């Protein structure tokens, strides 16, 4: 008896320390990220960093303005969401409500495969196929634009949005569905008046998580968006090259002398990125919890 | 269900195994790191890191060297001149390869770490300015090139071409070519902020070969039929980036490629450096597409 308890306790504590390790790693990452980015503000003020319009990290009068990078990330992510949300929700509705179960079962693995394609492969595809296509379609000086990045990111965010929305739609109680049909509503009316509103919080969570995925993407964007650190105009800027926060870190981390202001500026960009994704995930979590409460 | 569970267990075990393997590998590297300083003479393997421009050359040299000396190993990685020099300063590599001279701040950082960087010139390289073959422009003066890259010239019409917007392509700032081009061509100006930034030479060739508006710069070794190299005029007449013009210095954008070592090379490092500088080594330089140093 004692032996068995002992064994249980051992297993328990091993599992505990493994999960604790995750938390410790996260804390350490935060610690180093924040510590190194705070060092930037010895040289540049926080306000200059957050509202600066120019990113000239290696010039004599160096300037570390976040705005071009921030808006670059924003416009690409917004474009990706506009592209991925209608497609993703439509696919989710089709798979969970309309498609024959056999068709749905056949479709799902393909969505999972889409999620498993490495981002550099997406980037390569974008560079070779989509960049010339965008350039010729819109008759632009170059096809490496925010739009190209948005489309690629949209495709990459699709699996997240489809899978989570589909979960939300499937977990709408069938009693509600049958009630609606029994009252004489058509299948389509049931879908857009009953099922989608009931699953809305879950779908919103899916959109937020898709957004989190999009804003953190690096390799694909670095390959197809042209990496031009200027503030994009709105809405025409969608057809101009942009540079995202992630691509900036990836592009410049290689050269930067350790401990220099530029080095700390890249960490500060990383902190901003981390804060944004953290907030997005937090919001997604809050929405998801609300939705559970509602359905019960 | 049981089957599923089994698959998951196996997968988890695999992942855990791989992680431990990973930890094991880095562990080994680390344990080799500190020992590298003292018994460098007996060490039978050396590490090179640095310039992507030097990479194809260093790789070819390492392969040939290892065919002749089967018991010795030379590992080469890229990343950029700055990456290589940082690794040398941190004592992680035996040789840093660079396509630019070491900066004063890097020398200071090295001295602070007890590293004494010594420079060896191993070859010469030319930077060619490339455009799409459809573009009728064949030559530019240095002033025109500077104007295109600092933002004062934005249409091909202004430099004798068609009425099209110029799409300017640059490398990212970790590239030695970026620094070199900035110094030689921009002469104190900044790159125009709306220039496209490509993370690799391949990206520049790719964009220029499919975009008739584009202009970019690449190492002569990367020239192929898909792009057109321009002749440049720095005031002494227009010169094409031919091997002759680069060797006699007539072509304005030619530069040296370097190895940096901690102190004078010794042991296997010296053997490898000597090999690169030998006749066999220098004939490889020509084969890869660079230009041998004059003895």
Among A130-144, B5-19, B204-218, name the one with the lowest average pLDDT. B5-19
First-to-last C-alpha distance (Å) of chain B: 73
Query: In the structure, what pLDDT confidence band is assigned to residue A293 with cuts at 50, 70 and 90?
Result: very low
Q: Give the residue ranges of DSSP H helices in A146-296.
A: 146-170, 174-182, 187-189, 196-198, 200-216, 219-224, 245-252, 261-295
Which of B173, B174, B196 is nearest residue A142 as measured by Cβ atoms? Answer: B196
pLDDT in tens, B63-106: 999 999 988 899 998 878 888 999 999 998 999 999 888 988 88
Query: In the structure, what pLDDT confidence band is assigned to residue B8 with cuts at 50, 70 and 90?
Result: low
B99 Cβ partners below 8 Å, 6+ apart?
B51, B53, B54, B81, B125, B176, B177, B180, B255, B257, B258
Comparing CA positions, the residue from B175, B202, B58, B50 lying closest to residue B123 is B58
**Predicted-complex ipTM score:** 0.73
- Tally C-beta pairs within 8 A across A and B: 87
Q: Is A293 exposed, middle or buried (0-12, 13-18, 19+ CB in 10 A)?
A: exposed
pLDDT reported for residue B30:
39
CATH number for the domain running over B125-254:
3.40.190.10
Query: In the structure, what pLDDT confidence band is assigned to residue B112 with cuts at 50, 70 and 90?
Result: very high
pLDDT surpassing 80 at residue B39: no
Q: Are residues A185 and A163 in the same domain?
A: yes
Strands (E), A42-154: 55-56, 63-64
Q: Are residues A77 and A172 in the same domain?
A: yes
Pairing of strands B95-98, B254-262: antiparallel
Average pLDDT on B2-28 reads: 52
pLDDT surpassing 90 at residue A267: yes
Intervals of CATH 3.40.190.10 along chain B:
46-124+256-288, 125-254
Among A13-22, A67-76, A251-260, name the one with the lowest average pLDDT. A251-260
Q: Are residues A53 and A6 in the same domain?
A: no
User: What mean pLDDT value characterizes chain B?
Assistant: 83
A45-75: b (≥16 Cβ within 10 Å) or e = eeeebeebebbbbeeeebebbbbbbbbbbbb
d(CA B183, CA B175): 13
What is the CB neighbour count within 10 angstroms for residue A8?
10
pLDDT reported for residue B5:
55
Matching residue, tokens 């069938």: A174
B174: contact with A, CB 8 A cutoff: yes
Query: Domains in chain A: how many in total?
Result: 2
Q: Are residues A159 and A27 in the same domain?
A: no
pLDDT in tens, A112-166: 899 899 999 999 999 889 999 999 999 888 899 999 999 999 999 999 999 999 9
Residue-range definition of the domain harbouring residue A8: 2-42
- pTM of the predicted structure, to 2 decimals: 0.73
B199: contact with A, CB 8 A cutoff: yes
Residues of A in contact with B79 (CB under 8 A): 254
pLDDT reported for residue A220:
92
Query: In the structure, what pLDDT confidence band is assigned to residue B27 with cuts at 50, 70 and 90?
Result: very low
Percent of chain B clearing pLDDT 70 (strictly above): 85
Average pLDDT on A214-242 reads: 88
Query: In the structure, what pLDDT confidence band is assigned to residue A25 with cuts at 50, 70 and 90?
Result: very high
> Which comes out higher in pLDDT, residue A296 or A182?
A182
pLDDT reported for residue B246:
84
Query: In the structure, what pLDDT confidence band is assigned to residue B14 with cuts at 50, 70 and 90?
Result: low
Residues of B in contact with A143 (CB under 8 A): 211
Is residue B123 a contact partner of residue B284, using CB atoms and an 8 Å limit?
no
Q: Are residues A38 and A75 in the same domain?
A: no
> What H or E segment, with its residue span, contains residue B208?
helix B201-210
Q: Are residues A123 and A16 in the same domain?
A: no
d(CA A55, CA A74): 16
pLDDT surpassing 90 at residue B17: no
User: What mean pLDDT value characterizes chain A?
Assistant: 89
B206: contact with A, CB 8 A cutoff: yes
pLDDT reported for residue B234:
85
Q: Are residues A22 and A76 in the same domain?
A: no
B46-124+256-288 is a CATH 3.40.190.10 domain: yes
Q: Are residues A114 and A37 in the same domain?
A: no
Nearest CA in chain A to B107: A257
d(CA A151, CA A135): 14
Among A146-150, B10-14, B239-243, name the one with the lowest average pLDDT. B10-14
Encoded tokens for A255: 């050269």
What is the CB neighbour count within 10 angstroms for residue B134?
10
Using the Cα atoms of residue B28, residue B33, residue B36 and residue B38 in order, give the sign of their dihedral.
negative
Matching residue, tokens 């140093």: B293
Query: In the structure, what pLDDT confidence band is assigned to residue B189 with cuts at 50, 70 and 90?
Result: confident
Average pLDDT on A268-284 reads: 92
d(CA B167, CA B110): 39
List the single best residue of A116, A135, A143, A144 to mutate versus B (max B Cβ within 10 A). Answer: A144
pLDDT reported for residue B7:
57
Is residue A115 a contact partner of residue A164, using CB atoms and an 8 Å limit?
no
pLDDT reported for residue B38:
41
A232-268: b (≥16 Cβ within 10 Å) or e = beeeebbbbbbbbbbbbbbbbbbbbbeebbbbbbbbb
pLDDT reported for residue B26:
45
Q: Are residues A16 and A143 in the same domain?
A: no
B134: contact with A, CB 8 A cutoff: no
A59: contact with B, CB 8 A cutoff: yes
Q: Are residues A127 and A188 in the same domain?
A: yes
Comparing CA positions, the residue from A163, A200, A210, A212 lying closest to residue A287 is A200
What is the number of H-type helices and E-type strands within chain B? Answer: 10, 12
CATH number at residue A215: 1.10.3720.10
Q: Is A133 exposed, middle or buried (0-12, 13-18, 19+ CB in 10 A)?
A: middle
B167 and A142: CB-CB below 8 Å? yes
B58 Cβ partners below 8 Å, 6+ apart?
B48, B76, B97
pLDDT surpassing 70 at residue B6: no
pLDDT reported for residue B25:
46
Average pLDDT on B166-193 reads: 85
pLDDT reported for residue B249:
77
């Amino acid at each position: 008896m004692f032996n068995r308890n002992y064994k249980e306790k051992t297993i328990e504590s091993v599992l505990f320390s493994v999960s604790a390790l995750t938390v410790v790693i996260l804390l350490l990452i935060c610690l180093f990220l924040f510590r190194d980015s705070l060092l930037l503000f010895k040289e540049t003020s926080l306000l200059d960093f957050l509202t600066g319009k120019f990113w000239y990290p290696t010039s004599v009068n160096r300037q570390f303005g976040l705005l071009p990078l921030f808006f670059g990330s924003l416009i690409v992510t917004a474009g990706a969401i506009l592209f991925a949300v209608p497609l993703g929700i439509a696919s989710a509705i089709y798979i969970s409500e309309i498609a024959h179960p056999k068709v749905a079962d056949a479709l799902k693995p393909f969505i999972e495969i889409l999620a498993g394609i490495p981002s550099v492969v997406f980037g390569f595809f974008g560079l070779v196929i989509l960049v010339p296509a965008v350039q010729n379609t819109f008759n632009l000086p170059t096809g490496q634009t925010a739009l190209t990045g948005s489309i690629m990111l949209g495709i990459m965010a699709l699996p997240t949005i489809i899978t989570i929305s589909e979960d939300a739609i499937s977990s709408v109680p069938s009693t509600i569905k049958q009630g609606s049909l029994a009252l004489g509503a058509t299948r389509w009316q049931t879908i857009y008046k009953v099922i989608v509103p009931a699953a809305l919080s879950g779908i919103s969570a899916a959109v937020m998580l898709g957004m989190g995925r999009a804003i953190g993407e690096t390799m694909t964007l670095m390959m197809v968006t042209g990496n031009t650190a200027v503030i994009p105009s709105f809405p025409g800027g969608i057809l101009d090259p942009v540079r995202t926060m992630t691509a900036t870190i990836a592009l410049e981390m290689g050269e930067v002398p350790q401990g220099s202001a530029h080095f700390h500026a890249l960490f500060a960009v990383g902190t901003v990125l981390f804060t944004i994704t953290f907030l997005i995930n937090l919001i997604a979590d809050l929405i998801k919890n609300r939705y559970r409460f509602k359905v019960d | 269900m049981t089957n599923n569970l089994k698959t998951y267990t196996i997968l988890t075990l695999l992942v855990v195994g791989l992680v431990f393997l990973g930890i094991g590998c880095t562990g080994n590297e680390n344990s080799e790191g500190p020992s590298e300083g003292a018994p460098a003479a007996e060490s039978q393997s050396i590490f090179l890191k640095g310039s992507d421009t030097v990479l194809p050359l260093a790789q070819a040299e390492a392969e040939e060297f290892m065919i002749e000396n089967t018991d010795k190993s030379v590992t080469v990685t890229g990343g950029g001149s700055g990456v290589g020099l940082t690794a040398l300063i941190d004592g992680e590599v035996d040789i840093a390869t660079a396509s630019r001279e070491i900066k004063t701040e890097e020398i200071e950082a090295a001295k602070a770490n007890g590293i004494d960087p010594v420079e060896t010139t191993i070859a010469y390289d030319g930077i060619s300015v490339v455009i799409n073959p459809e573009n009728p422009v064949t030559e530019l003066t240095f002033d025109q090139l500077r104007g295109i890259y600092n933002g004062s010239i934005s249409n091909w019409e202004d430099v004798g071409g068609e009425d099209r917007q110029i799409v300017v392509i640059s490398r990212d700032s970790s590239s030695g070519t970026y620094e070199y081009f900035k110094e030689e061509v921009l002469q104190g100006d900044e790159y125009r902020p709306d220039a496209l930034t490509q993370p690799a030479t391949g990206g520049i060739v790719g964009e220029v070969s499919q975009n008739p508006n584009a202009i970019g710069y690449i190492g002569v070794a990367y020239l192929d039929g898909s792009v057109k190299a321009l002749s440049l005029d720095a005031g002494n007449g227009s010169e094409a980036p031919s091997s002759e013009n680069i060797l006699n210095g007539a072509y304005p954008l030619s530069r040296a490629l370097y190895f940096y070592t901690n102190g004078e090379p010794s042991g296997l490092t010296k053997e490898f450096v000597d090999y690169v500088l030998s006749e066999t080594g220098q004939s490889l330089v020509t084969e890869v597409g660079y230009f041998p140093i004059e003895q």
